[in-house]
Amino acid sequence: MQNRRDFIKGSTVFAAMMAAAPTITLAQGAKKVFKVGMIGAGGRCKGAFGDITKAAAAIGHEVELVAVCDFFEEKAKAASKQFSGEKAKAFWGANGYKEVVAIPEIEIIVTATPPAFRAIHVEAAIKAGKHVFAEKPVAVDGPGVRKFIAAAKLAQEKKLSLVAGTQRRHARGYNLQAKALQEGKLGAILGGNIYWNGSVPWVRTRRPEDTNASYLANNWLNFSELSGDHIVEQHVHNIDVANWFIGRTPKTALGFGGRARRVSGNQYDFFSIDFDYGDGVHIHSMCRQISGTSNSVSEHFRTPEYEISGGGKVQKVGDKEALKLEGDFRDGNPYEIEHIHLLQGILSGNVVNEGENVAMSTACAIAGRLSAYTGQTIRLSELVDEKFKDSPFYNFACKPSWADFEAAGDVAMPEFGDDKIPLPGKAWGQK
């Protein structure tokens, strides 16, 4: 678990690297063509490739798709056609990522596979000497979080950049607020509320030809074992902002949730979690996926003198006028800026590594999910600290795992399959 000093140190160094970020060129008029491999060919990964393409152009360079893989053959081939006119090699199946990372000319891996697979895919890319853009979250359980942290440390040792899809860390408004908090200009955060309330993004029904593996891979968003549930898959953004602004991770998570409306998978419809950061600081986390309800995706914090809306206003308590924050941070689309920072890190040799921050925020979200499922108070240390290896949550791994998909044949359906959900008071995941 990160303390405030270590967390702030990492955040401050990163903020300094991200500030202004002047354009780096190889030489006047020269263009570099970054060779890219994609692991995953769904909508988010294709979106990320579009973003890195725009990012390269913004700083005077280009990208070329060399290879792409996906669990499904048709998706891999379609991405190759869309982004390279079928020049890029296409691989498919659970082991396709091994083919992509093995290609020597590839410098950067862009990956947005189901979160349950992300740690192993990033680990393989780092071991192969590739820079990485990895979508959030980065795991669905404690072992996955720890594997990702180890991969992030290896990236640092190998001087490889690792940028995560926590795009708020690359947005001007959020960075100005974070800087002001880190410099003590707004005082320390006393507490706050974070929200991701919306609708179910999508559901895919089982086709007659589907195996368990293909059904789960196609409908992964709705299964906790592959997505981490929506508190992990979506709400991790808001949790990450809370950790960033407070300057440390919470000690415990205690909450509840339930399910009443969902038509597929085993995820909850809603969560309500109290994250205890110690020293009397509590953040209330609320996330919901129910259509026709009030929506909010936002963060709100209070210091002794100020009210802070994440990425938006800072107001003195009782004042209507917003406080103007100063700072030298790049403005624009944060989905593109995160890739600009990745590419500039590669060009300059100044490694950008967001691995541990996104891993710890993922662990917080997992702790919240486990608390709601079991009704227990979950210590973050039980997921990440070897001192707690005897905890039932330390070695608990969601099944089926990435290894099950890579093995020959089909996979077993999750213990809690379609419309079978974990209930508080039952020892979900405990042995």
- Do both 266 and 316 map to the same domain? yes
Between 22-31, 90-99, 160-169, 236-245, the lowest mean confidence (pLDDT) is in 22-31
Collapsing DSSP to helix, strand or coil, 286 comes out as strand
Average pLDDT, the chain: 92
**Rounded-to-integer distance, Cα 97 and Cα 65, Å:** 14
Omega prior to 392 cis, within 30 of 0: no
- Do both 145 and 42 map to the same domain? yes
* 21-33 average pLDDT score: 60
The answer to the question of residue 421 being in a domain is: no
Collapsing DSSP to helix, strand or coil, 260 comes out as coil
> Would you state the pLDDT for residue 28?
46
* 37-46 average pLDDT score: 97
pTM for the full model?
Answer: 0.93
Q: Report whether pLDDT(430) > 90.
A: no
**Rounded-to-integer distance, Cα 50 and Cα 229, Å:** 27
The most distant pair of C-alpha atoms in the chain lies apart, rounded to whole Å, by 65
Range of the domain at 111: 4-169+334-361
CATH number at residue 184: 3.30.360.10
208: how many CB neighbours lie within 10 A of its CB?
4
- Do both 346 and 383 map to the same domain? no
- Give the tens place of pLDDT for each residue, 153-184: 999 999 999 999 999 999 999 999 999 999 99
Listed residue (358, 87, 112) closest to 241, CA to CA: 358
- Do both 174 and 309 map to the same domain? yes
Q: Which two tokens stand for residue 262?
A: 């969902």
The answer to the question of residue 427 being in a domain is: no
CA 166 to chain centre: 6
Contact 104, 82 (CB under 8 A): no
DSSP codes of every residue in 148-173: HHHHHHHHHHTT--EEES-GGGG-HH
- Do both 191 and 236 map to the same domain? yes
CATH number at residue 67: 3.40.50.720
> How many distinct structural domains can be found in the chain?
2
360: how many CB neighbours lie within 10 A of its CB?
25
**What sign does the CA torsion over 369, 374, 379, 385 have?**
negative
Per-residue confidence band for 236, with pLDDT thresholds at 50, 70 and 90: very high
The answer to the question of residue 311 being in a domain is: yes
Listed residue (233, 218, 214) closest to 116, CA to CA: 233
- Do both 193 and 342 map to the same domain? no
- Do both 349 and 376 map to the same domain? no
**Rounded-to-integer distance, Cα 333 and Cα 337, Å:** 6
The answer to the question of residue 115 being in a domain is: yes
Listed residue (190, 361, 371, 186) closest to 282, CA to CA: 190
- Give the tens place of pLDDT for each residue, 186-231: 999 999 999 999 999 999 999 999 999 999 999 999 999 999 999 9
**Rounded-to-integer distance, Cα 404 and Cα 191, Å:** 41
- Do both 134 and 21 map to the same domain? yes
Contact 59, 340 (CB under 8 A): yes
- Do both 26 and 157 map to the same domain? yes
* 95-110 average pLDDT score: 98
CA 239 to chain centre: 11
Distance set, CA 144 to CA 115, 170, 177, 224, 234 (Å): 9, 25, 31, 14, 17
Q: Report whether pLDDT(405) > 50.
A: yes
Per-residue confidence band for 18, with pLDDT thresholds at 50, 70 and 90: very low
